[in-house]
Chain A
Amino acid sequence: MTRYLLSVGYRAGATPPSPDELQEIMADVGDVRRRMQAEGSWVFGGGLHDPSTASVVTAHDGSAVTTDGPFIDSKEVIGGITIIDVADLDAALGWAERTARATRCPIEVRPFMDDHPE
């Protein structure tokens, strides 16, 4: 089994969906999540607030500096994430496709490093 991070990407500054569209998207996303949970593949997930709500903390010798805003201003923004635990990349790509349909956004699939301590 391998854990994968599915990130929902959208264009920074893209027009947000209308309330009706958003309701439809949320219903579809919820549907995919329930299917992941039923299969025992879902580990964690959720939507994220706008990058402008982010803060970055940098630790120095004895102190830490907190700054407002995300790491970098990029054209693509992560709108939400899901972590799944599945047999292999093909299974992860299958969930990514379903998530892409539900969110109407491209999905980045990235494997976690093997960290099972047992």
Chain B
Amino acid sequence: MKPNAASDEPLALQRVFRDEWSRVVAVLARSFHDLDLAEDAAQQAFAEAAASWPATGIPRSPGAWVTAVARRRAIDRVRRESTRDAKQLLAVRSASIDTWPDFDLGGESVDDDVLRLVFMCCHPALAPPAQVALTLRLVAGIETTAIARAFLVSESVMTQRIVRAKRKIRAANIPFRMPEDAQLPDRLASVLAVIFLAFNEGYIAAGGDRLDRPDLCEEAIELARLVVRLMPDEPEARGLLALLLFTSSRRRARVAADGSLIVLAEQDRGRWDHELIDEAAVLLRSCLRQGRAGHYQLHAAITAVYTEATTFAATDWHQILALYDHLLLIAPTPVVALNRSVALAEVEGPEAALMALAELDLDHYYLWHAIQAELLLRCGRDDAAALEFERALQLTDNPAERRHLQRRAHRR
């Protein structure tokens, strides 16, 4: 026997799991009109694969293997439970006759099912936290316990959240189908927002000491890749993926050995992941060329300008300011205006930026205070800066952010 075969087995199984999980759940969800049944059957089939593949080897078409087993388990269960309604019994009958999509033949219809599953999980009739939880569970295949750890809530809270969302899908009859053309822009925005939320959760958690938390940044990037693959004509989907890759490229350089945050200006640019940066740059160029710039594309473009500079001082602030002006036109939110003020300070000076900040209604937001504090320091108004650092510290619990603010507050 090859000694390596056994040790490679778990990795190969993980890869199959990652590639096939959402496809198996999606195909079963369409056939049985029941998310719980789809999820449980998929879980069971993967468990059987994990048990038998080390001995038999991985089948040539692992996806088809897992789907066939999952389908059989689902049918067994429907037959066992006599309370199932007529619709499902009908599905069992048609599934037995084998109207199953063939995994080996292109798999285009399976891709469509995955997309339907994504839109169902991100349906705007579900609250955003439920959308995120459901997408991570059903599309990314993360265990509920791990999702709970990632969001720092108890397992029972997360289980409840997912159960309630599934119950609403069933009771309100949230459809397993593509949105109509007129609804598509809003519905896609909802999908991208879910991915962005998951990524941010992972990004903010960086520097935390919980090694057992799943890497939500990686999972979000995988989800974004999936959406880009399934909807290749949507520039905002590619814009989001570019943004996530650009941001992710700095992760190693962003946290110091003691867990404190290193701001962009002080990061060692040599530690950035240039492979990710190159991939993001190609994506960004390709979507901007379509001439339908949305806010993820513009955010990605801003991040790209920051990334292109060889040093922080060499950043092209005029270009960043112009991109923020464009972004404000399509997303006129106080937070965008807040970020714009940082570029404004570099182009027109800290006084101009402070004046712009005074007009924003963001008293509850720690960054509004933190940015003002930095600008006040630059104006030589140390006492006023100290007050703003104090306010910022009162408004954030994140340990890495707090360490950074404390350090800045005492460097005067």
Contacts and interface: CB of A to CB of B under 8 A. Distances in A.
A and B assemble together: yes
Interface of A: 2, 87-90, 93, 109-111, 113
Q: Pick the most buried of A2, A87, A89: most chain B CB atoms within 10 A of its CB.
A: A89
Interface of B: 123, 125, 171-175, 177, 179-180, 183
SS of B interface (majority):
loop
B280 to A, nearest CB: 34
A90 B180 contact: yes
B173 A88 contact: yes
A109 B168 CA distance: 12
B173 A93 contact: no
Contacts of B180: 90
Nearest to B176: A88
A88 B179 CA distance: 12
Contacts of B177: 88, 90
Contacts of B174: 88-90
Given A90-B174, A111-B173, A113-B171, 20 more contacts: A2-B172, A2-B173, A87-B175, A88-B173, A88-B174, A88-B175, A89-B123, A89-B125, A89-B172, A89-B174, A89-B175, A90-B175, A90-B177, A90-B179, A90-B180, A90-B183, A93-B125, A109-B172, A110-B172, A111-B172
5 contacts: A88-B175, A89-B123, A90-B175, A90-B179, A109-B172
A101 to B, nearest CB: 14
B173 to A, nearest CB: 4
B178 to A, nearest CB: 10
B174 to A, nearest CB: 5
Contacts of A90: 174-175, 177, 179-180, 183
Contacts of A88: 173-175, 177
Contacts of A2: 172-173
Nearest to B179: A90
Contacts of A110: 172
Contacts of B172: 2, 89, 109-111
Nearest to B119: A90
A111 to B, nearest CB: 5
Contacts of B175: 87-90
B12 to A, nearest CB: 39
B287 to A, nearest CB: 28
Nearest to A113: B171
A11 B173 CA distance: 29
Contacts of A113: 171
Which 8 A-B pairs give the minimum distances between C-beta atoms? A88-B175, A2-B173, A111-B172, A88-B173, A89-B174, A89-B172, A89-B173, A111-B171
A85 to B, nearest CB: 11
Contacts of B173: 2, 88-89, 111
Contacts of B123: 89
B166 to A, nearest CB: 14
A25 to B, nearest CB: 24
Nearest to A3: B173
B90 to A, nearest CB: 15
A88 B174 CA distance: 6
Contacts of B183: 90
A90 B250 CA distance: 40
Nearest to B85: A114
